[in-house]
Amino acid sequence: MTYTNVDQVTANTAAGLALDAVEAAGHGHPGTAVALAPVAQLLFAHHLKHNPSNQDWSGRDRFVLSCGHASMLLYAQLHLSGYQLSLDDLKNFRKAESLTPGHPEYGHTVGVEMTTGPLGQGIATAVGMAWAQLSLADRFDPDYENSPLKSYVYVIASDGDLSEGISSEASSFAGLHKISNLIVIYDDNEISIDGNAKASFNEDIVSRYRAYGWHAVGVNQTSDGKIDIQKLDQELVAARKSDRPTLIALRTSIAYPSPNMTGMAATHGSPMGTAEVAATKLALGLNPDEFFQVPALAMENKRQVMNRGAELQQSYDQEILAYQNRQPSLAKQFHQLGNLDISSLSIPVFSLDTQIATRKASQQVLEELAKLPQLVGGSADLSESNGVAIKSLPIYHGVNSEFGDLAGRRLLFGVREHAMAAFCNGIALSSPLRPFAATFLIFSDYMKPSIRLAALMNLPVTFVFSHDSIGLGEDGPTHQPVEQLWSLRATPSLSVIRPADANETAAAWVEILNRNQPAAIILSRQNLPVITENPSVRNGAYVLYEPKKSPQVILIATGSEVQLAVNAAKELESNGLYARVVSAPCLEWFDEQPREYRDAILAGAPKIAIEAGSPVGWYKYVGSDGVVLGVNNYGASATPKYLFEKFGLTTENIVQIAKQLLD
């Protein structure tokens, strides 16, 4: 048993800090932070491989607090483990500009490995994190079982996390692939906001996880209602030896050891009040009259955890040296993963006037990009359709699979869009790999919460969405995206790129890789003529067709509608009317350009925007006197030709509207 008196006092101190911080803020979530303080202490002091003096140590284990509302659990633990998070930071819990916001924020607070709060995201993202670590060990160290490249991912998840559908998708995937370096502690406290969680969520979690193929065990409380820390400690050791992911269903009581409020849902999301806080502090062996107290033994914990961290990193450094001697060539490749270099690739160039769907062009580009060792990803059971059945990217089949390849880089996600997106976030969070996640654009809605988190954390995940409009045809309105483009464009920090043709598609991929930011590339199902050469996609929008005389009207279009705009401009010109065509593959990149550039392209003439999707956001570009040709309703099961005509997305209609506008 490793849990000492120092641990006990530190855990009690952490619980006291959580109580005081929530009380000082006047709001927050004390119950779980108080109850699970011993669990966090056990992890941070004895199980996690981490070094508080070097939070960026690439060999560290990851800890994900999936139930992000219990943020004080993490903040208190980080402080008491010696991370750069001061007592004053804890005193500013939930205050503006503090390092201790309501929910943990990645990139904002030292030691926070991902932004959590939307329940279920943490556990699903952790599956991707764990896979990335396993996969790197698989690929770059033949002795992967004992490789220093393999680290563990620990998660604390709540009833809410496991109720969310995404946890099922992700856990099923983790079980299938025996992602054995993933260890989830499920806080089985039977409480959620509406009261007893069993009233809404009553399945046998251990059986459920065993059915997924996990190593799943239950740990009961001790007879006096405490968390059985000794048993948990043993189960964590066993988990690391398991050849499967592990779930430990840990029986706890929310707010324990509060004398009057233990087990009460009221402690989930509200301060417990001064009297109960004082009583709970007494039960914790703390001075009820002292706030934010850190006894000497808790300071001793800080020293011990920091020393342990330094030693762990030292021995890791030696293991890495031994690995470099053992596998000099692989080690060199491994270390170079941090430098993404596309300069030696020959990105395909497509000849004018050939016909190719942008999803197919994208696949040709990806065949070349697969030479980048960083490229990993896959589709939610639509690999061929999405253009990501990349022949040069071997499929990952996992450990002990009858199918073989362990070092593969293309994942068959099955029909699990939401988990796929979170999984890719996890890869981007925990490794230098560059993940992509593919499906039909319409099903981006199934992934939206994870796309939002990718954008919020500014992760370089690329979402590949094919079948971009009514142009997909007979599959009908359930499959025809309408509002999805503007929904994605309304997501801050996400670049949405809808290329007009194959060459714009190639240029888009190059720009996506160079930018290292979240992006969605939107691709056509149907063939499109190649109409651009060397397009300025990186500027977001550019003049594709300039009439002989000063333009009287400006046509802005994206994707499959750009060809219609070009044809319309040519026809107008033959009628003595002059139209410029602006291809606008990425409005976010265009908005970043200097004002002079944007004005040079769009100012000075009335504008018509043409896009086979909802018109809502286009008025920003065409102004109130401009016209938007879009799709104002759901499509229908019919040929693309019929549908484009039905919605007025034709050369003839553009010509007519332009004439009306000029009249």
Ligand X SMILES: Cc1ncc(C[n+]2csc(CCOP(=O)(O)OP(=O)(O)O)c2C)c(N)n1
Residue number with CB closer to ligand X (9 or 162): 162
Contact 221, 253 (CB under 8 A): yes
d(CA 624, CA 24): 49
Nearest distance, CB of residue 116 and ligand X, angstroms: 9
In this structure, what token pair is assigned to residue 328? 């000099």
Question: Which residue stretch of 89-97, 157-165, 255-263, 419-427 sits at the interface with ligand X (rule: CB under 6 A)?
Answer: 157-165
Element holding 436 (H helix, E strand): strand 434-440
Closest residue to ligand X in the complex (CB): 160
What do you get for the CA distance between the two ends of the chain, in Å? Answer: 86
Of 183-191, 370-378, 421-429, 519-527, the segment contacting ligand X by CB under 6 A is 183-191
Q: Which of positions 390-409 make contact with ligand X (CB under 6 A)?
A: none
Site string for ligand X, 572-591 (x = CB under 6 A): --------------------
Q: Name, in order, each residue with C-beta under 8 angstroms of 568's C-beta and a sequence gap of 6 or more.
A: 555, 579, 651, 654, 655, 658
Residue 169 binds ligand X, judged by CB under 6 A: no
Task: For residue 498, state whether it binds ligand X (rule: CB under 6 A).
Answer: no
Q: How far is the CB of 165 from ligand X (least distance, A)?
A: 10
From the list 65-73, 386-394, 597-605, 644-652, the region that binds ligand X by CB under 6 A is 65-73
The residue (of 36 and 442) whose beta carbon lies closer to ligand X is: 36
- At residue 582, the 3 state secondary structure works out as strand
Contact 32, 73 (CB under 8 A): yes
Q: Quick one: which segment of 111-119, 405-413, 477-485, 551-559 binds ligand X (CB under 6 A)?
A: 111-119
Pattern of binders to ligand X over 15-34, x per CB under 6 A? -----------------x--
Nearest CA to 510 out of 586, 609, 398 is that of: 586
Residue from the set 76, 78, 119, 250 that interacts with ligand X by CB under 6 A: 119
- H helices of 212-357, in order, are 229-241, 266-269, 274-283, 296-326, 328-336
Question: Is residue 524 close enough to count as binding ligand X by CB under 6 A?
Answer: no
Which of the residues 338 through 377 are near ligand X (CB under 6 A)?
none
Residue 420 or 528: the one with the smaller Cβ distance to ligand X is 420
Q: Rounded distance, CA 607 to CA 636, Å?
A: 28
DSSP bridge partners of 476: none
Nearer to ligand X, 6 or 37 (CB): 37
How far is it, in rounded angstroms, from Cα 401 to Cα 317? 32
As measured in angstroms, the least distance from the Cβ of 38 to ligand X is 16
- Report whether 580 contacts 547 (CB < 8 A): yes
Catalytic residue among 23, 417, 504, 588: 417
Helix axes 328-336, 296-326, angle to 10 degrees: 120
Shortest distance (Å) from residue 8 CB to ligand X: 22
Using the contact rule CB under 6 A, the part of the chain among 52-60, 62-70, 224-232, 630-638 near ligand X is 62-70
Q: Which is nearer to ligand X, 195 or 477 (CB)?
A: 195
Whether 291 and 20 have beta carbons less than 8 Å apart is answered as yes
Between the alpha carbon of residue 661 and those of residues 415, 582, 606, 607, 626, the distances in Å are 46, 17, 8, 9, 8
227 φ/ψ sector (left φ>0, alpha ψ -120 to 50, else beta) = beta
How far apart (Å, rounded) are the C-alpha atoms in residues 597 and 514? 21
E strand residue ranges, 14-162 = 62-65, 153-157
SS3 627: strand
Q: Closest distance between ligand X and the C-beta of residue 316, in Å?
A: 34
Number of CB atoms found within 10 A of residue 539's CB? 18
Rounded to the nearest whole angstrom, what is the least distance from the CB of residue 99 to ligand X in the complex? 21
What is the biggest distance separating any 2 CA atoms in the chain, rounded to whole angstroms?
A: 90
The stretch near ligand X (CB under 6 A) out of 66-74, 175-183, 350-358, 620-628 is 66-74
Q: Point out which span in 85-93, 184-192, 358-366, 436-444 binds ligand X (CB under 6 A).
A: 184-192
Cβ 14 to ligand X shortest distance, Å: 16
- Minimum CB distance to ligand X, residue 19 (Å): 15
Q: What are the CB-based long-range contacts (under 8 Å, 24+) for 619-623?
A: 621/556, 621/584, 621/587, 622/556
Q: To the nearest 5 percent, what fractions of the chain are helix, strand and coil?
A: 45, 15, 40
Measure the CA–CA gap between 122 and 120, rounded to whole angstroms: 6
Whichever of 136 and 265 has its CB closer to ligand X, that residue is: 265
Only one of the segments 126-134, 152-160, 514-522, 589-597 lies at the binding site for ligand X (rule: CB under 6 A); that segment is 152-160
Least separation in angstroms between CB 550 and ligand X: 53
The interface with ligand X within residues 253-282 (CB under 6 A) comprises 254, 268
Distance CA 510, CA 507 (A): 5
Interface positions, 279-318, toward ligand X (CB under 6 A): none
CB closer to ligand X out of 191 and 277: 191
Where residue 226 falls (left for φ over 0; alpha for ψ -120 to 50; beta otherwise) is beta
Nearer to ligand X, 134 or 453 (CB): 453
Smallest separation (angstroms) from ligand X to the CB of 53: 31
Q: Which is nearer to ligand X, 16 or 102 (CB)?
A: 102
Instruction: Please select the residue that binds ligand X; options are 159, 228, 235, 417, rule is CB under 6 A.
Output: 159
160 makes contact with ligand X (CB under 6 A): yes
Sheet holding 495-497, edge to edge: 410-412, 375-379, 434-440, 462-466, 519-522, 495-497
Please say which residue, 200 or 392, places its beta carbon nearer to ligand X.
200
> Contact letters (x/-) for ligand X, 67-86, by CB under 6 A?
x-xx----------------
Q: Which stretch binds ligand X (CB under 6 A): 158-166, 381-389, 557-565, 644-652?
A: 158-166
The single-letter DSSP state of residue 443 is G
Number of residues that bind ligand X (CB under 6 A): 19
Question: CB of 331 within 8 A of CB of 319?
Answer: no
CA–CA separation, 59 and 56 (whole Å):
9
Report, in Å, the least distance between residue 547 CB and ligand X.
52
Structure token digits, residue 656:
């007519």
Q: How far apart are CA 446 and CA 423, in angstroms?
A: 14
- Site membership for ligand X, residue 117 (CB under 6 A): yes
Least distance from C-beta 268 to ligand X, angstroms?
Answer: 4
Residues in 186-205 at the binding interface with ligand X, rule: CB under 6 A: 187, 189, 191-193, 197
Q: Is 417 a catalytic residue?
A: yes
* CB closer to ligand X, 18 vs 369: 18
Q: Name which of 379 and 444 has its Cβ closer to ligand X.
A: 444
Is 158 a residue that touches ligand X (CB under 6 A)? yes
Which residues contact ligand X by CB under 6 A? 32, 67, 69-70, 117-119, 158-160, 164, 187, 189, 191-193, 197, 254, 268
As annotated, the active-site residues are 417
